[in-house]
């Protein structure tokens, strides 16, 4: 049995995926700044809540993409972590549980 104290892969090593995630996060950052401005401008509560909902949805989609990428790494290259298959799956499941 391999050393289970090693951590599972956690780096997004595909440059295109990383750039897409960073682009989405920058867009979300802009949306959050927009919400802050809306509040400062005294905009209608429904408009603010609608934008907050959009941000929450966008963050959720980023999380899904990170989890998809992470799961793909764990399942297609479990040896990269130095953990046995069962430990990799348990680590993946615990990460999913944290995210949800």
- Sequence spans of domains, the chain: 15-99
pLDDT reported for residue 10:
63
Angle subtended at Cα 22 by Cα 98 and Cα 14, rounded to the nearest 5 degrees = 85
**CATH, range 15-99:** 1.20.58.1000
Q: Could you report the average pLDDT of every consecutive run of 10 residues in the chain (100 residues)?
A: 49 89 98 98 98 97 91 79 80 84
Q: What pTM does this model have?
A: 0.77
Q: How many residues does the chain have?
A: 100
For residues 50 and 73, give the distance between their C-alpha atoms in angstroms, rounded to a whole number.
35
């Amino acid at each position: 049995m391999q050393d289970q104290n090693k951590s599972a892969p956690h780096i997004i090593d595909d440059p295109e995926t990383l750039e897409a995630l960073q682009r989405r996060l920058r867009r979300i950052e802009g949306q959050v700044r927009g919400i802050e401005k809306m509040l400062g401008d005294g905009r209608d509560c429904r408009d603010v809540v609608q934008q907050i909902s959009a941000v929450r949805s966008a963050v959720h989609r980023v999380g899904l993409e990170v989890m998809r990428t992470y799961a793909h790494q764990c399942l297609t290259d479990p040896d990269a972590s130095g953990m046995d298959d069962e430990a990799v799956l348990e680590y993946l499941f615990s990460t999913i549980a944290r995210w949800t």
